[in-house]
């Protein structure tokens, strides 16, 4: 079988690149070994939010100019990164998810532990706070849970928020809404997880003509006159943002949903929207299969072998490797070595294990290993035994030279590099229709 483009990895980077290729009319397949890390993510996109000294970044595009030349952003360039993010926002809108930002500034998003993380794009249901003055205009915060839901703890979140100077003086209202109030029938402990709650609410509450009103009055009663109402993201996967907006209209309150422990509904929402777009554009999503190895000749990759059909290699003229970092098994380690398990690409890492991490686990300093990854050319081509592979591009967390958590840059790197790789491919393919 022959494709124009094979994308290995169905996460944020892979799907962004794949959607771009499919949109340009290229015959594209994504091979994904199971669900990606998106299902565990916040459903917000960060670009660059935290400097080396742990201070927040307000204007990411200005800040990334000062990054070292090995950083993926320096290879992609600010202009391409911005185009990629615009493209991504448009694609999400086409799939029914509106992403909002604060002009050209980062905003703050609340986490379930009460931390404020810088983000560039957030879904509408997640309230955007001004990054440097998140508590502006907020004197009373209500944190409201559905009674029995264990993956969200209002008291823990309040304690986290209070550590922020702006919120230290705020009044916190912590409350539960009883399942009986919502007329929902949960009989088993497992029904009190985020997705199961969403399904139960859909079945027992939102199917009723006045269902949303029951919820809105319960919220109103619990929240009193709070300036900000925080609820865990358990209302719905599809259409969850619209529900929050409806509740805001009905209650007159400012409501913010926060992603909980996995499964994260805003993350799932984003993952399914991306897959839906890819399929609508004619892409083939091959899930549950895994690329085992590739066939290389003259510094080019010609085909890949997969676990399920090893004797039927799939060939393509271009490839994107977007298999993620250690968590997603795009990078592997044993006691002495770090490796890239699919093609055995050259990984940039020190030989001595002592240099992989700091001896102190949580002293606020980043560990070296989060910088490790595949070393690429300026065009994101990797090397194999020192030889550059010309038709293979790497994107997302598998790349070296950046620290997604410490910098708050994982979303931007995934989208920016996925977009960049796709455009490099499109530029070399005469049959691609230029649409952007």
Q: Which residues bind other proteins (CB under 8 A)?
A: 1-2, 29, 33-36, 39-40, 186-188, 190-191, 193, 195-196, 199-200, 262-263, 268, 276, 279, 284-290, 306-312, 314, 328-329
Q: Which helix (H) or strand (E) holds 79?
A: helix 78-94
Task: Please identify, using beta-carbon distances, which residue of 178 and 307 lies nearer to other proteins.
Answer: 307
Task: Please identify, using beta-carbon distances, which residue of 295 and 312 lies nearer to other proteins.
Answer: 312
Task: Please identify, using beta-carbon distances, which residue of 21 and 116 lies nearer to other proteins.
Answer: 21
**Kind of pairing between the strands at 383-384 and 387-388:** antiparallel
Shortest gap between Cβ of 167 and other proteins (angstroms)?
31
Give the whole-angstrom CA distance, residue 124 versus residue 128: 8
Task: Please identify, using beta-carbon distances, which residue of 97 and 143 lies nearer to other proteins.
Answer: 97
Distances from the Cα of 40 to the Cα of 73, 153, 194, 215, 269, angstroms: 24, 18, 12, 26, 11
Which residue, 297, 292, 346, 342, is CA-closest to 314?
A: 292
Shortest gap between Cβ of 311 and other proteins (angstroms)?
5
Distances from the Cα of 421 to the Cα of 246, 293, 297, angstroms: 39, 21, 21
Task: Please identify, using beta-carbon distances, which residue of 251 and 306 lies nearer to other proteins.
Answer: 306
- String of DSSP letters for 337-348: -EE-TTT---EE
Contact 201, 184 (CB under 8 A): yes
Shortest gap between Cβ of 436 and other proteins (angstroms)?
24
Task: Please identify, using beta-carbon distances, which residue of 153 and 186 lies nearer to other proteins.
Answer: 186
Shortest gap between Cβ of 158 and other proteins (angstroms)?
26
Strand partners, 231: 257
Shortest gap between Cβ of 33 and other proteins (angstroms)?
7
Shortest gap between Cβ of 316 and other proteins (angstroms)?
13
* Beta strand segments in 272-370, E: 284-287, 291-297, 300-306, 314-321, 332-333, 338-339, 347-348
Shortest gap between Cβ of 350 and other proteins (angstroms)?
28
Give the whole-angstrom CA distance, residue 172 versus residue 154: 10
Task: Please identify, using beta-carbon distances, which residue of 122 and 194 lies nearer to other proteins.
Answer: 194
């Amino acid at each position: 079988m022959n494709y124009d483009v094979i994308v290995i990895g169905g996460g944020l980077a892979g799907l962004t690149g794949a959607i771009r290729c499919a949109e340009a009319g290229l015959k594209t397949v994504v091979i994904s070994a199971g669900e990606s890390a998106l299902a565990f993510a916040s459903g917000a996109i960060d670009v660059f939010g935290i400097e080396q000294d742990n201070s927040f970044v307000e204007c990411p595009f200005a800040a990334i100019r000062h990054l070292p030349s090995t950083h993926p952003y320096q290879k992609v360039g600010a202009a391409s990164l911005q185009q990629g993010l615009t493209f991504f926002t448009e694609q999400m809108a086409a799939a029914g998810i509106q992403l909002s930002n604060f002009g050209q500034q980062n905003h703050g998003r609340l986490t379930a532990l009460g931390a404020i993380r810088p983000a560039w794009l957030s879904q509408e249901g997640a309230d955007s706070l001004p990054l440097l003055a998140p508590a502006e205009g907020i004197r009373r915060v209500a944190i409201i849970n559905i009674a029995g839901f264990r993956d969200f703890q209002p008291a823990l979140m309040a304690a986290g928020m209070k550590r922020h100077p702006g919120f230290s003086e705020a009044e916190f209202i912590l409350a539960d809404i009883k399942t009986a109030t919502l007329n929902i029938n949960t009989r088993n402990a497992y029904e009190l997880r985020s997705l199961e709650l969403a399904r139960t609410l859909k079945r027992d509450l939102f199917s009723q003509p006045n269902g949303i009103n029951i919820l809105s009055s319960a919220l109103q009663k619990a929240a009193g006159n709070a300036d900000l109402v925080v609820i865990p993201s358990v209302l719905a996967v599809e259409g969850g943002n619209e529900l929050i907006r409806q509740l805001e209209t009905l209650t007159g309150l400012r409501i913010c949903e926060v992603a909980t422990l996995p499964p994260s509904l805003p993350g799932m929402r984003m993952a399914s929207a991306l897959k839906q777009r890819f399929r609508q554009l004619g892409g083939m999503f091959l899930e549950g299969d895994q690329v085992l190895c590739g066939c290389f000749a003259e510094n080019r990759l010609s085909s890949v072998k997969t676990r399920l059909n090893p004797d039927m290699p799939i060939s393509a003229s271009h490839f994107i490797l977007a298999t993620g970092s250690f968590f997603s098994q795009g990078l592997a380690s044993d006691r002495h070595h770090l490796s890239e398990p699919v093609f055995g690409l050259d990984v940039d890492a020190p030989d001595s294990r002592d240099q992989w991490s700091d001896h102190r686990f949580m002293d606020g300093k980043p560990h070296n290993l989060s910088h490790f990854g595949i070393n690429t050319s300026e065009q994101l081509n990797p090397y194999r035994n020192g030889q550059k592979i010309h038709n293979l591009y790497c994107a997302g967390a598998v790349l070296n030279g950046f620290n997604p958590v410490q910098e708050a840059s994982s979303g931007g790197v995934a989208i920016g590099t996925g977009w960049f790789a796709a455009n490099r491919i499109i530029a070399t393919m005469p049959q691609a229709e230029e649409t952007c």
